[in-house]
Amino acid sequence: MTLLDGPPHVITAGAGLLADALREQAAAVTGVSWRPPLAGTADALARVLADPRRQAANDLAVRRLVSARPELAGVRRASEVLRTAERTFLHAGPPITWERASGPMRGALIGAMLFEGYADDEREAAARLAAGEVRLEPCHQHAAVGPMAGVVSPSMWLFEVRDTEHGGTAYCSLNEGLGKVLRYGAYGPEVLDRLRWMDGVLGPALSAAIGLTGPLDLRSLIAQALQMGDELHNRNRAATSLLLRELAPAISDAAPGHASEVLRFIAGNDHFFLNAGMAAAKVSTDAARDVPGSTLVVAMARNGTDFGVQVSGLGGRWFTGPAGVPDGLYLGAYGPGDANPDIGDSTITETSGLGGFAMAAAPAIVRFVGGEVADAVAATRSMYEITLAEHPAYQIPGLGFRGTPTGIDVTLVARTGLLPVVNTGIAGRIAGTGQVGAGLVSPPAEAFTAALRALSDAVADPFEV
Amino acid sequence: MNDTVFVREGVYHDSVALMRVSRALSELPGTAVAIVAMATELNLELARDLGFELPPAGPGDLLVALRGPDTAAAAHELDRHLAELSSAGPAREAEQPPLTTRSAARGGGADLALVSVPGEHAFAEAMDAIEAGLPVMVFSDGVPVGSERLLKERADERGVLVMGPDCGTAVVGGVGLGFANVLRPGPVGLVAASGTGAQQVSCLLDLAGVGVSHVLGVGGRDLSAAVGGLSTVRALRMLDEDPATELIVLVSKPPDPEVAGTVRQVVESLRTPVVEALLGSGTDLTAAAEAALRALGRPVPAWPCWDGSARRAVTVAGEDPGPLIGIYSGGTLCAEAALIAGAGEFTDYGDDVYTRGRAHPMIDPTLRLEALGKVPPGGVVLMDVVLGHAADPDPAARLAPAIAALPAAVVVALIGTEADPQDLLRQAAAFRDAGAVVFTSNAQAARHARDSL
């Protein structure tokens, strides 16, 4: 049908009066609930929206993101796979120095110094870190991600996830469990003992088991877990169970002497899958990187001090704002005063359309988003307003198997003022405390507006007449 | 008298909705002045002129300024009104309303987007529509010409029509968009680079018993060298393809010579005959309507008018006539009247400079009422009143008493049809009873005003 063939169905954006006038004529109207964009973004928005490359670039980038086929290919030592200089630790979020690092980040770095034998005690470790004896580089710079402090040292074992569609590879550390753990900045004897056990028992057992099973299809595992009530960030119970089901026979074959302790360890940690899911999310978002002109967000990550984003069309540049303190539920006697600002690379789940974006799939944990199932549904629904696609495989049963909102567009964030919904764990402010709660955090708008300005600076003025 | 002033950061409502809230609050006992408006420069200035002390605020913030012996009721009512505006969303609460045109278009089923957001933000919404393959009418004014050119180039690649920017009126498939009169269906298709120009021509045709197929606005700058007539050419071709259109009327200011050449070539290639009304080149809108009637072989009637001048005591001084003051809401009507009158002070209150963060004078008579209040004795006032969808539901209710009180002669160009919701005949009677001479032809009104001096 062409425009002139009959009474039109009209989308109205702006004055409600004009929509009312159409309704009075019995015309079909879809009203846009329009608001002005984030302050100071109008000019940059117009320039970026006018970029002739943008639409095709975003179509390509988001198509790569949702078509990625992550497979768990192996479990390998960091020193084998990461091309880092001697004495380099990876960490979560955008680049950070020891001076600016928060409590849990410092705690985790100290723990890694002790674990690697770079220092004999806490004081020595802190002094060496302060003296710059260890290079600190973001996980994201090395195709890796790490939850919370995200510290990866050379002898740690990593999940290796391959994207069989586009050929990428991404890594994430193994999950230590809850309570006092390195990723929350704890570095006491029990933390180091556990790391040594993971080093000597868990890593080799998993590595050998996956050698027997062959690569595991994480795309389909994540799709199933979403239908079983996980959102894959704050709830990984279903995904962990599914992974355990896949691995258990091979673990008992590959490491008969350690099978019961390894299986018991995995079964005792509902978040064991999180790290594999993060590597899957990372390899998927990496497939969408470096498309010139694309305004798609390919990473959101926090180092406990700054919240940073990376955008497909802007290479490896970080755009940051101050990390906020999460709003959530606290364990035991802990409260908001004990919370560290937001930390971790686990926001890669939201970046790939999971986590907070898939909240409607996880009614069991709706207390994080306001307490009602309707709040979870509203959170997911709102994210369709800032994303470019609906994931073809990751679906939400409660929304009629609609695909999760996937692929954050910087221009849509600026236009709607809606910031990504991010689920997160909450780390204690003081190094060594560990986890104090879990909840929601609001990213700083300036990280997105700074990225938008950079996109605008990178295009020629399209409006010259 | 107490002043209450506050700013709500980041609260947004459109200017028409806020005008209604302001009006409702200022009618409360205890409140003398109520300004509820987005804190644009224009609105801040307006509040400052009234003597309000203002905190810092920007165009994304809501400004509330109340004055009166007791403004507590107004402050209370404000919250109720704003809550009503916010909840006027979709019927199903659980649904997320679309926040962008992109999102609305993703839902499917739409044929056209109508964008009336503030001009500096219109580009994004219009681009969404074009990228979704939808034609778009940009009602917003204040859109830079470079943005207009770019939108129209992209639309051309997609094969969709951009009406506007600053497109005040359109009729598509019998549905009026923007300021649109209720017109009978018929054989005439209009392509107009002028909203009120199209309204004048189509209303006169309607008064002559001839209806329209479609009215496609293209925006006042479409035939400039910078824009190149992209929308005019597309609209002409669309109407040529349209089986309901037997005659096309093209209404525009005189185009850029090179663009005129392009348009002429297209016009000559069409199967449908075209009547061109290029204003300022010796013709006017009424003459264009008459030419269209002749082309259809229809008689040209005497255009209705109502003379109320006998009802007022004011006589124009013969020796030393006062000034001719044009107080207009329609840009093309204003330009046409100024051209015919030859002299006088003409102001188009629908121009960008008067509408930033304010409702259009066809909806909100405040600025024109102020202007009427400043008319010196003995002069002649020439003004337009435009009826139709989205316009003031009863313009005579506030303008007629102001006219009756004037110490000057008043000539009204009343643009509308008998089917318009405001009722042309009732409006004409009200202005006549207020002592005005009322014409349905703006050109005739301007000639009468000129000759009264």
Judging contacts by C-beta atoms under 8 Å, the chain B residues touching residue A36 are 12, 59-60, 118, 121
Query: Strands, DSSP E only, in A297-434?
Result: 297-303, 306-311, 319-322, 327-330, 343-344, 387-396, 402-408, 422-427
Is the CB of residue A35 less than 8 Å away from at least one CB of chain B? yes
**Are residues A229 and A201 part of one domain?**
yes
Judging contacts by C-beta atoms under 8 Å, the chain A residues touching residue B118 are 14, 36
Judging contacts by C-beta atoms under 8 Å, the chain A residues touching residue B240 are none
Mean pLDDT of A325-334: 87
Name the band, by pLDDT with cuts 50, 70 and 90, for residue B93: very low
Total domains, chain A: 3
CATH code at position A215: 3.90.1710.10
Judging contacts by C-beta atoms under 8 Å, the chain B residues touching residue A417 are 10
CA distance A442 to chain B (A): 17
Which of B116, B175, B244 comes nearest A27 by C-beta? B175
Looking at residue A172, its pLDDT comes to 98
Looking at residue B336, its pLDDT comes to 93
**Are residues A109 and A223 part of one domain?**
yes
Cβ atoms A157, A195 nearer than 8 A: no
The answer to whether residue A141 is domain-embedded is yes
Domain end position, chosen among A235, A250, A279:
A279
Does the pLDDT value for residue B88 go beyond 60?
A: no
Looking at residue B314, its pLDDT comes to 55
| Structure confidence by residue, pLDDT tens digits, A10-23 | 999 999 999 999 99
> Quick check: A18 and B177 CB within 8 A?
yes
Looking at residue B287, its pLDDT comes to 95
> Quick check: B390 and A4 CB within 8 A?
no
Q: In this structure, what token pair is assigned to residue B434?
A: 């207020």
Looking at residue B315, its pLDDT comes to 55
State the count of interchain CB pairs (< 8 A) between A and B: 198
**Residue type present at position A253:** D
Judging contacts by C-beta atoms under 8 Å, the chain A residues touching residue B176 are 21, 25
Name the band, by pLDDT with cuts 50, 70 and 90, for residue B22: confident
Judging contacts by C-beta atoms under 8 Å, the chain B residues touching residue A45 are 124
Domain end position, chosen among A227, A252, A279:
A279
Is the CB of residue B88 less than 8 Å away from at least one CB of chain A? yes
Cβ atoms B177, B97 nearer than 8 A: no
Name the band, by pLDDT with cuts 50, 70 and 90, for residue A304: very high
Local structure of residue A220 (DSSP, 8 states): H
Specify the residue for token string 């303190």.
A325
Judging contacts by C-beta atoms under 8 Å, the chain A residues touching residue B116 are 12-15, 18
> Quick check: A36 and B214 CB within 8 A?
no
Q: Which of A161-165, A354-358, B40-44, B60-64 has the lowest mean pLDDT?
A: B40-44
Looking at residue B313, its pLDDT comes to 57
Is the CB of residue B58 less than 8 Å away from at least one CB of chain A? yes
The answer to whether residue A243 is domain-embedded is yes
Q: Which of A195-204, B55-64, B128-137, B144-153 has the lowest mean pLDDT?
A: B55-64
Does the pLDDT value for residue B89 go beyond 50?
A: no
> Quick check: B110 and A3 CB within 8 A?
no
Is the CB of residue B238 less than 8 Å away from at least one CB of chain A? yes
> Quick check: A381 and B239 CB within 8 A?
no
Looking at residue B319, its pLDDT comes to 54
Cβ atoms A27, A7 nearer than 8 A: yes
Q: Which of B94-98, B113-117, B412-416 has the lowest mean pLDDT?
A: B94-98
**Are residues A343 and A274 part of one domain?**
no
Looking at residue B281, its pLDDT comes to 73
Judging contacts by C-beta atoms under 8 Å, the chain A residues touching residue B226 are 465
Can you name the residues that pair with B115 across neighbouring β-strands?
Answer: A13, B138
Judging contacts by C-beta atoms under 8 Å, the chain B residues touching residue A27 are 175
The CA dihedral of B435, B440, B442, B443, to the nearest 10 degrees, is -110
DSSP string, B64-120: EEEEES--HHHHHHHHHHHHHHHH-S-S-TTSPPPSSHHHHHHT----EEEE-S-HH
Does the pLDDT value for residue B316 go beyond 70?
A: no
Judging contacts by C-beta atoms under 8 Å, the chain A residues touching residue B149 are 463, 465
Local structure of residue A419 (DSSP, 8 states): P
**How many percent of chain B have pLDDT more than 70?**
96
**Are residues A247 and A299 part of one domain?**
no
Phi-psi region of A372 (alpha: psi -120 to 50; beta: other; left: phi over 0): beta
Instruction: Respond yes or no on whether the N-terminal peptide bond of residue A444 is cis (omega within 30° of 0).
Output: no
Return d(Cα A151, Cα B359) in angstroms, integer.
57
List of domains in chain B? 2-87 (3.30.70), 185-301 (3.40.50.261), 305-452 (3.40.50.261)
| Structure confidence by residue, pLDDT tens digits, A123-166 | 999 999 999 999 999 999 999 999 999 999 999 999 999 999 99
- CB half-sphere exposure, B89, CA atoms < 13 A: 14
**How many percent of chain A have pLDDT more than 90?**
87
| Structure confidence by residue, pLDDT tens digits, A332-390 | 889 889 999 999 999 999 999 999 999 999 999 887 767 789 989 999 999 999 999 99
Q: Which of B22-31, B298-307, B314-323 has the lowest mean pLDDT?
A: B314-323
CA distance A25 to chain B (A): 7
Does the pLDDT value for residue B87 go beyond 70?
A: no
Mean pLDDT of B199-214: 97
Domain end position, chosen among A244, A279, A314:
A279
Residue of A nearest to B162 (CA): A3
Main-chain dihedrals φ then ψ at residue A315, nearest 5 degrees: 60, -140
CA distance A137 to chain B (A): 38
Residue of A nearest to B169 (CA): A18
Q: Any idea what the Cα angle at residue A367 is, between residues A361 and A373, rounded to 5°?
A: 45
Mean pLDDT of the residues in chain A:
95
Please report the residues numbered 91 through 150 in chain B whose beta carbons come closer than 8 angstroms to any beta carbon of chain A: 94-105, 107, 109-118, 120-121, 123-125, 127, 129, 131, 134-135, 139-140, 144-147, 149-150
CA distance B437 to chain A (A): 30
**Are residues A56 and A110 part of one domain?**
no
> Quick check: A30 and B109 CB within 8 A?
yes
**Are residues A187 and A96 part of one domain?**
yes
> Quick check: B173 and A45 CB within 8 A?
no
Which is higher by pLDDT, B89 or B177?
B177
Does the pLDDT value for residue B91 go beyond 50?
A: no
Name the band, by pLDDT with cuts 50, 70 and 90, for residue B94: low
Judging contacts by C-beta atoms under 8 Å, the chain B residues touching residue A415 are 99-100, 124
Residue of A nearest to B100 (CA): A32
Cβ atoms A421, A378 nearer than 8 A: no
> Quick check: A465 and B149 CB within 8 A?
yes
> Quick check: B123 and A462 CB within 8 A?
no
**Are residues A197 and A170 part of one domain?**
yes
Q: Is B141 helix (H, G, I), strand (E, B) or coil?
A: coil
The answer to whether residue A142 is domain-embedded is yes
Judging contacts by C-beta atoms under 8 Å, the chain B residues touching residue A37 are 121, 124
* Closest C-alpha among A147, A99, A144, A106 to residue A123: A106
CA distance A228 to chain B (A): 23
* Closest C-alpha among A293, A321, A332 to residue A60: A293
- B47-61, B207-221, B298-312: range with highest mean pLDDT: B207-221
Mean pLDDT of A309-336: 93
Main-chain dihedrals φ then ψ at residue B46, nearest 5 degrees: -60, -45
Looking at residue B90, its pLDDT comes to 44
**Are residues A82 and A19 part of one domain?**
no
DSSP string, B363-395: T--HHHHHHHHTPPTT-EEEEEEE-SBTS-S-H
Mean pLDDT of A51-72: 97
Is the CB of residue A56 less than 8 Å away from at least one CB of chain B? no
Looking at residue A34, its pLDDT comes to 95
Q: Any idea what the Cα angle at residue A41 is, between residues A10 and A300, rounded to 5°?
A: 100
Does the pLDDT value for residue B85 go beyond 70?
A: yes
Which is higher by pLDDT, B34 or B439?
B439
Q: Is B3 helix (H, G, I), strand (E, B) or coil?
A: strand
Residue of B nearest to A25 (CA): B175
* Closest C-alpha among B441, B414, B411 to residue B303: B441
Judging contacts by C-beta atoms under 8 Å, the chain A residues touching residue B102 are 412
Is the CB of residue A245 less than 8 Å away from at least one CB of chain B? no
**Are residues A146 and A182 part of one domain?**
yes
The answer to whether residue A40 is domain-embedded is no
ipTM above 0.85, yes or no: yes
Contacts of A91 (CB under 8 A, 6+ apart): A105, A108, A109, A136, A137, A138, A139, A146, A149, A150, A151, A152, A303
The answer to whether residue A127 is domain-embedded is yes
The answer to whether residue A401 is domain-embedded is yes
> Quick check: B146 and A6 CB within 8 A?
no
Is the CB of residue B357 less than 8 Å away from at least one CB of chain A? no
Judging contacts by C-beta atoms under 8 Å, the chain A residues touching residue B180 are 21
Does the pLDDT value for residue B111 go beyond 70?
A: yes
Return d(Cα A299, Cα A346) in angstroms, integer.
10
Q: In this structure, what token pair is assigned to residue B71?
A: 């403004």
CATH code at position A388: 3.90.1700.10
Does the pLDDT value for residue B92 go beyond 50?
A: no
**Are residues A322 and A254 part of one domain?**
no
**Are residues A202 and A76 part of one domain?**
yes
Is the CB of residue A30 less than 8 Å away from at least one CB of chain B? yes
> Which residue segment(s) compose the domain that A7 sits in?
3-34
Looking at residue B320, its pLDDT comes to 60
Number of Cβ within 10 Å of residue A200's Cβ equals 11
Return d(Cα A46, Cα A58) in angstroms, integer.
16
The CA dihedral of A417, A420, A426, A429, to the nearest 10 degrees, is -50
Does the pLDDT value for residue B254 go beyond 90?
A: no
**Are residues A449 and A413 part of one domain?**
yes
